Structure 1
Amino acid sequence: MTEHAVTTPDLKARHRAMWALGDYPSVATDLIAALGPTLVGACGLRAGDRVLDVAAGSGNASIPAARAGAAVVASDLTPELLESGRARAEALGLSLDWREADAEALPFGEDVFDAVISCVGVMFAPHHQTSADELVRVVRPGGTIGLLSWTPEGFIGQMFSTMKPYAPPPPAGAQPPPLWGREDHVRALLGDRVAEVEARREPLTVDRFGTAEEFRDFFKARYGPTIAVYRAIADDPARVRALDDELAELARRHDLGDGRMEWEYLLLTARKRG
């Protein structure tokens, strides 16, 4: 099947399957756990708020929002991630509504939520304008939209650039996820439907890996997009070795000298106009 022949159901099935690969919940808890509370704090979520987390994964932001007392719907395309999040929330004594849902066709009415958030989630939906339109549609006038996304120039954005030559061509119309890490891109997506836009770039400090190779092997084993790229080149050992080397070199370039790395993200909040 050519990229132009990929239908929307096929594309959604591929995305769902990709994020079920490996162990994304361990990525969320071991590496980026701080991002969810950061987003919740920036949005000022509080008890009684009706909150929708789009592309919630295993609840990186949903669970901190529930801890703040919000009534949270955690939605994601991949049921395996929702099951992991549900189990973690139950262990913490938290009650959330976990819903399988496509970020590009949310099964909710207009003006329903006080806040709509996404923590390195909606950025991976392929059609950016469609996703942005859905975020705006379901939040009430005066409500908050809060987005945290990896930047193109930051470590994860550069990791995707490194993997791109080894990956199959993207489907027609699909846009690169790290574009959501550009303030001008997100402002254009939301347009004049929002006001009080605030955006800042911040670093996430990661000190989980002792060596560059440890980072690479962690992502090869646990991160769906990386696993999918390696599967695509599995029959070409030379390309596998080349990607191994490039990912390790990327990690070495970002090592601050003491085993720490900083992964840059864009944190953007806005209010829907009334």
Structure 2
Amino acid sequence: MTNTTDPDQADRALKARHRAMWAQGDYPTVAAELIPELGGVLVEACGVRAGDRVLDVAAGTGNVAVPAALAGADVVACDLTPELLETGRALAERRGARLRWQEADAEDLPFDDAAFDTVLSCVGVMFAPHHQRAADELVRVCRPGGTVGLLSWTPEGFLGRMLATMKPYAPPPPPGAQPPPLWGDPQHVRELLGDRVTAVEAERRTVVVDRFATPEEFRAYFKERYGPTIAVYRSLADDPARAAALDRDLADLARAHGLGAEDGRTTMEWEYLLFTARRSD
């Protein structure tokens, strides 16, 4: 029998699942409680200034977009999940930040070529399933001489290891989808962007997370609030033995990264890659 599957229809279904995944749980709280400073780190690294035209791709609730707007930039925050944008609007209003919010797919941005001076993404575009498509869009909408700035979890860091720990328990990814933490590998990002960028700087850094007292508290927090974790556990709803195994693996992962050690340690360091480059003329 001939396979008549429509690739466009399959892609739309995939994006719908991604949109729903990030809408469930409470990602705004995760971003606000665990990594609030990372957006400012990226804004500073990219030298965002008043009057710059800035695009925050896969912006979520505006972890990058809001500090960029407060720096005086003309900012557009776009994301696939409208529920996150609604929360971001309210957060921006409370902080006195003025910017534009727009629903958009990172792999098919609805903006003109070379429309922005700076194109940013903080642990956002890394979750777009097709890395090359997303990278091509980042470059396309950045003007020649403009800046592309990315902050992504590394494969070796805690979040990268957490996603790898969940992967065997999750349904298999669709053909062509790539693991998010590859964006935390500088060689991978260099290959995606190729000779379209120059002045590349890539630095591994860590953010200190002190929200959790025990591995079990960490696990419960992510099971309740973090979309990818919620999605995996829902896929195991009819397999309690595998769900229990994932419980053990996540707690062991946190323990291996120092949480709940014999000395009572309650902090972890999560590694990320800070990557900046200038679009070639």
State TM-score, norm by structure 1.
0.97
Cα drift, residue 162 of structure 1: 0.5
Match of 2:40 in 1: 37
Show structure 1 runs of 5+ residues with no match: none
Tell me which residue corresponds to 1:225.
228
What is the match of residue 160 of structure 2? Answer: 157
The residue identity in structure 2 corresponding to 1:79 is P
Give, in angstroms, the shift of residue 234 of structure 1.
1.0
> Match for 2:113 among 110, 114, 121?
110
The answer (yes or no) to whether the contact 1:115–1:139 under 8 Å persists in 2 is: yes
How many angstroms does 1:27 deviate by? Answer: 0.5
Question: Unaligned 5+ residue runs, structure 2?
Answer: none
Asked if residue 264 in structure 1 is aligned to residue 271 in structure 2, the reply is: yes
Alignment counterpart, residue 243 of structure 2, candidates 216, 240, 243: 240
TM-score under structure 2 length normalisation: 0.95
Q: What residue is the counterpart of 1:74 in the other structure?
A: 77
CA spacing shift, 1:162–1:4, aligned 2, 3 Å: farther
> Partner residue of 2:185?
182
Match of 1:10 in 2: 13
| CA positional deviation for 1:32 | 0.7
Map residues 71-220 of structure 1 onto 2, 5 A cutoff: 71-220=74-223
Residue aligned with 1:46, SS: coil
Question: Please, what is the CA RMSD of the aligned residues?
Answer: 1.3
Size of the alignment, in residue pairs? 272
- The whole-number CA distance in structure 1 between the counterparts of 2:72 and 2:248 is 46
**Residue 273 of structure 1 aligns to which amino acid in structure 2?**
S
Match of 1:57 in 2: 60
Paired AA for residue 267 in structure 1: L
Alignment check: 8 A CA contact 1:67 1:94 kept: yes
SS at match of 2:113: coil
Contact 1:126/1:177 (<8 A) preserved:
yes
SS in 2 for 1:226: helix
The Cα shift of 1:64 comes to: 0.9
Distance 1:157 1:4, change over 3 A: farther
Partners of 2:269 and 2:132 lie apart in 1 by 29
Segments of 4+ in structure 1 off by > 2 A?
3-6
C-alpha distance in structure 1 between counterparts of 2:67 and 2:250, whole Å: 32
SS at 2:51 equivalent: coil
What is the rounded CA distance, in whole Å, between the counterparts of 1:216 and 1:65 in structure 2?
32
Are 2:270 and 1:252 aligned? no
Distance, in Å, in 2 between the alignment partners of 1:34 and 1:89 is: 15
Cα deviation digits, residues 91-145 of structure 1 (max 9, x gap): 1121110000000000000011000000000000000000000000000000000
CA contact (8 A) 1:234 1:240 kept: yes
Alignment CA distance shift 1:231-1:146 (3 Å): same
Amino acid aligned to 1:121: G
Q: CA deviation at 1:4?
A: 10
Mean Cα deviation higher: 64-73 or 256-265? 256-265
Identity %: 70
C-alpha distance in structure 1 between counterparts of 2:54 and 2:82, whole Å: 19
Distance in 1 between residues matched to 2:71 and 2:172, nearest whole Å: 42
